[in-house]
């Protein structure tokens, strides 16, 4: 067994039992689906339907635009009611352009073409995955195809499937591994082909023995020696991409680089399962597993949810509220977003909904000054000094923030959790990042401009030198002839 976290981290109450008692269930398609065109990292998709159009389940309704983007498909059959801005459960609550579809009750589906991955070369396979609207389902929703393309450029890449669902409350990956282990492993095999990877490691935290058993069982049946399962200790944030990669490889992802720079590509187990469903069953990414839990909901569990379903429908499916909520979280209690209302659609990023009563959470008290006790730096998995970052963020000292690694902060909230002065450190760091990013981008552009200028000078010099050389040769040959 490997240690997932070399430094810092927290042992937190998981609160995952209640939502994993019963098997997951597929809920009915909603009467109306609200599908934001920008529910992934990168550029928004552009609409491919008009108001009034009839669409089928699985039909492309938004086309990926640009290098990093993802396509969008209808999760229900019906008629496009509107293409308008609606509130969404991300972007800090600012509304996004959504395609709103009214269900006609027909449940008619696009007859998806089933694809044998072996018939496609890695490039074509990547394109096909892109067509399925597949994005990372761990919560960051980074489009999978561009990630794979980058991985394809790296020599001897290894694949890591992240099943270390470390955040409290969330159990959708746990249930997925228990119930759809075969799909996950099929996804692993497809991804190995796409990346020409010789190794794939599925990382599972040791508080999910059922999931590990199911995955090991499926792996025995699959009998593919490229794929292995690694159990890691349950320490938040063991499931962070960097932490998982370090647990498997012993290497660290370079601060200014990407995992592919050290020959690793990391995807969520849910993403692998979605890829398998797309290739083997022709179903694009139009539904996902969502954990609905918290003391504020009557029946906790995992629901297989059509994207665009209203969160209030999910609460209804779960027996309704069991009290006045202290928070409604999308995600877990450490990194989750507090939603202002339940009248929001389930999106590709919606891994979990926590209807929290006061007893479920422990909010901050009155903020006191930092006494530099150092609890935060002991808890930081990125080996930062949050107490110093906090000081520099207060004085907006961008140089010091850069030197002390603000951009290496993964916003896990461990420092917040242990701070005796109740300082909202993670939020301070989130707020401080844009200014530093702006500065770094400006510097990068200045650097590129200088490089361009210097390379232009060099080019002119080279051309001039070549011209002179040719001229000299010509003269020489002339004299020789003359």
Partner 1 sequence: MTPPTSPAPHVIAPNSVRRVMPIVIVALVPAIVMHVVFFGIGLAVQLVLGITISLVAEAIALKLRHKPLLPFLTDGSAIITGVLLAMCLPPLAPWWLVVSGSAFAVLLAKHLYGGLGANPFNPAMVGYAVLLVSFPAQLTQWLPPQLADLHIVRPGVGDSLYTIFAGHLPAHLAWDAITSPTPLDSLRTSLAMGQTMQEAQANPMFGALGGRGWDWINLSLLGGGVWLLALRIIRWHIPVAMLAALAMPAAVMNAVDPGAYAGALFHLTAGASMLGAFFIATDPVSAATSNRGKLIYGAGIGAITYVIRTWGGYPDGVAFAVLIMNAAVPLIDRYTVPRIYGHAR
Nearest distance, CB of residue 13 and partner 1, angstroms: 9
What is the Cα–Cα distance from 350 to 347, expressed in whole angstroms?
5
Q: E strands within 92-143?
A: 96-103
Q: 455 burial class (0-12, 13-18, 19+ CB within 10 angstroms)?
A: exposed
273 neighbors 181 (Cβ within 8 angstroms): no
Nearest distance, CB of residue 342 and partner 1, angstroms: 5
* Short-list 154, 73, 134, 69, CA closest to 272: 134
What is the Cα–Cα distance from 15 to 354, expressed in whole angstroms?
11
What is the Cα–Cα distance from 55 to 44, expressed in whole angstroms?
20
Q: In the block, which residue shows the tokens 């008692």?
A: 21
104 neighbors 78 (Cβ within 8 angstroms): yes
- Cβ neighbour number for residue 364 with a 10 Å cutoff: 11
β-pair partners for 201: 160, 228
What is the Cα–Cα distance from 268 to 241, expressed in whole angstroms?
9
Scored b (16 or more CB within 10 A) or e, 192-209 reads bebbebebbbbbbbebbe
What is the Cα–Cα distance from 461 to 481, expressed in whole angstroms?
30
292 neighbors 272 (Cβ within 8 angstroms): no
* Short-list 388, 272, 286, CA closest to 73: 286
Q: Which is nearer to partner 1, 133 or 381 (CB)?
A: 381
- Cβ neighbour number for residue 280 with a 10 Å cutoff: 17
- Cβ neighbour number for residue 472 with a 10 Å cutoff: 10
Binding residues for partner 1, rule: CB under 8 A, are 7, 12, 168, 242, 252-255, 257, 312, 315, 321, 325-329, 331, 333-342, 356, 360-366, 368-375, 377, 381-385, 387-388, 403-405, 408, 411, 413, 416-422, 424, 426-427, 430
* Short-list 291, 430, 412, 407, CA closest to 4: 412
How far does the chain reach from its first CA to its final CA, in angstroms?
83
* Short-list 273, 287, 271, 283, CA closest to 115: 283
What is the Cα–Cα distance from 87 to 44, expressed in whole angstroms?
15
């Amino acid at each position: 067994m490997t240690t997932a976290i070399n430094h810092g981290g927290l042992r937190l109450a998981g609160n995952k039992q209640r939502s994993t008692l019963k098997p997951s269930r597929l809920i009915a398609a909603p009467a109306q689906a609200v599908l934001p065109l920008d529910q992934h990292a990168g550029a928004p998709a552009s609409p491919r339907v008009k108001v009034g159009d009839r669409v089928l389940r699985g039909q492309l309704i938004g086309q990926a635009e640009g290098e990093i983007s993802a396509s969008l498909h209808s999760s229900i059959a019906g008629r496009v009611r509107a293409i308008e801005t609606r509130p969404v459960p991300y972007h800090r609550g600012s509304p996004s352009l959504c395609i709103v579809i009214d269900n006609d009750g027909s449940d008619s589906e696009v007859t998806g073409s089933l694809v044998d991955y072996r018939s496609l070369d890695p490039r074509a396979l990547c394109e096909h995955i892109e067509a399925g609207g597949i994005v990372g389902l761990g919560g960051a929703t980074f489009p999978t195809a561009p990630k794979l393309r980058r991985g394809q450029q790296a020599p001897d890449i290894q694949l890591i499937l992240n099943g270390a669902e470390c955040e409290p409350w969330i159990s959708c990956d746990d249930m997925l591994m228990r119930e759809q282990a075969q799909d996950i492993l099929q996804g692993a095999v497809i991804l190995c082909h796409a990346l020409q990877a010789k190794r794939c490691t599925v990382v599972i935290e040791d508080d999910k023995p059922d999931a590990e058993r199911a995955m090991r069982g499926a792996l025995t049946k699959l009998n593919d020696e490229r794929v292995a399962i690694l159990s890691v200790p349950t320490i938040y944030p063991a499931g962070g991409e960097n932490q998982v990669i370090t647990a498997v490889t012993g290497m660290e992802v370079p601060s200014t680089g990407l995992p592919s720079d050290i020959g690793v590509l990391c995807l969520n187990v849910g993403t692998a399962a979605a890829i398998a469903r797309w290739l083997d069953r022709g179903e694009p990414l139009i539904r996902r597993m969502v954990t609905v839990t918290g003391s504020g909901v009557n029946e906790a569990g995992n629901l297989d949810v059509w994207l665009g379903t209203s969160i209030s429908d999910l609460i209804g499916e779960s027996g309704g509220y069991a009290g006045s909520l202290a928070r409604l979280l999308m995600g877990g209690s450490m990194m989750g977003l507090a939603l202002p209302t339940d009248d929001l659609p389930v999106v590709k990023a919606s891994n979990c909904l926590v209807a929290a009563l006061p007893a479920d959470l422990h909010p901050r008290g009155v903020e006191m000054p930092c006494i530099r006790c150092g609890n935060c730096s002991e808890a930081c998995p990125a080996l930062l000094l949050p107490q110093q970052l906090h000081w520099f963020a207060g004085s907006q000292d961008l140089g010091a923030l850069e030197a002390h690694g603000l951009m290496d902060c993964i916003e896990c909230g461990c420092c917040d959790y242990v701070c005796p002065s109740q300082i909202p450190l993670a939020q301070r760091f989130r707020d401080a990042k844009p200014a530093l990013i702006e500065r770094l981008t400006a510097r990068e552009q200045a650097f590129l401009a200088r490089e361009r200028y210097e390379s232009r000078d060099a080019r002119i010099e080279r051309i001039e030198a070549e011209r002179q050389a040719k001229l000299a040769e010509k003269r020489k040959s002339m004299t020789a002839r003359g």
